[in-house]
Amino acid sequence: MATKTRKTPATPATTTPAAPALQFISLENIRAEDQVRTFFDEATLQELAESMKQQGMMQPVLLRPDPDKMGSFIIIAGERRVRAAHLAGLTAVPALIGEIDAAKAAEMQLVENIQREDLSVQDLAANVKKLYDKHQALKPIAALTGKSLPWVSKHLAAATKLSWRARMLLDSGKTEDLDLVLTISQIETLAWGRPQQQLLDAIETGKAGRTEARALLAEIKEKIAAEKKASAKKKAKAKNAPVTEQKTPSWTASHGFDDLIDELKPSENVDLDAVIGKLTAEQQQVMCEYVVEAWQSGHQLVTATKLDAMRRIARWIDNYPSTEDTAAYILGANNIDLTLRDLAIEIRATIV
């Protein structure tokens, strides 16, 4: 009796999706969506077009199907080559078609742009900003683009944190040195005056660069640190003046302001002349001299630009000044002479 053999069903072979095949696509069926690249140099486009006339397009473009129009495609990478192909009079270009959704295509386009060498600093920064909006972290951007973390950080700063003058310097095309532009931005954030403007003028004429900018930034930081240290030392000395062995402690300007503030607190109807009259002319002079630096600092606002004035005011607030210093600052900013009576008026307006 013949033995029956059981046939084992054939196991379907596993297949790997085939790589996209190279196709020639009509230029009429290709369109570009908005990109971060904002500038295409006409001269280099024309050079590429001339090369295409002689040899054709040597590198295919990457496209994805247009979801809104059957038989049409959207550029993922290669818009510059497509533009040059139009100039060369080509009717079709070699292309690879990828089934990629719009979000992934947009990310691929950003990464491809960043990896190109002919993109401006502004466009690179805008590309990095768009990637950061999606990933909210620097490391994924560095991994996607093959750039270092410092590179990514600097270009993100160029897109989001540049001061007004630094932005104008970059947009003017006078320099594409990002380190230099970021240094100018730090300088403007800290302070702006004649030395800073002279440096900017020198940079725009090619007579200064990173070295000079970094030196000025270091000088400004040292000056600010010294001013803060001196101010803190002055206040500590005034507040902690040693008590003499006399029954009545020696009078100081700080004590004078403490007493003045105490008398102004109870009511808006305090007789200022009577309060000030308790002090001798010499004591009044000493109290005014005690806050003259604050008055001078505020007086600088009189000739400052609106933007610079706002920055100076913000820095003043960060220093947590005393009530009397703030009053003197306000007087100086409004070009009012420094007298004890006007100081008292401002102090009362602040505390009542």
The per-residue pLDDT for range 230-259, each reduced to its tens digit, is: 888 888 877 776 654 545 568 888 888 888
> In the structure encoding, which two tokens stand for residue 153, read together?
């950080």
Domains, in order of start, for the chain: 22-101 (3.90.1530.30), 165-231 (no CATH), 252-351 (no CATH)
- The confidence band for 38, taking pLDDT boundaries of 50, 70 and 90, is low
pLDDT of residue 117: 55
- The confidence band for 218, taking pLDDT boundaries of 50, 70 and 90, is very high
pTM for the complete prediction?
0.44
CA distances from 227 to 176, 303, 322, 352 (A): 34, 21, 16, 30
Percent pLDDT > 70 in the chain is 82
- Please tell me the chain's helix, strand, coil percentages from 3-state DSSP, rounded to the nearest 5: 60, 5, 35
Which residues pair with residue 61 across a beta bridge? 95
Rounded CA-CA distance 69/29 in Å is 9
Does the pLDDT at position 40 exceed 60? Answer: yes
Mean pLDDT, residues 16-37 taken together: 73
pLDDT of residue 253: 83
Residue type, 157: A
Q: At what angle do helices 210-239 and 194-204 cross, to 10 degrees?
A: 170
Residue 120 burial class via C-beta count within 10 angstroms: exposed 0-12, middle 13-18, buried 19 and up: middle
pLDDT of residue 85: 92
Summarize pLDDT for 320-346 with one digit per residue, the tens. 678 888 888 888 888 888 888 888 888
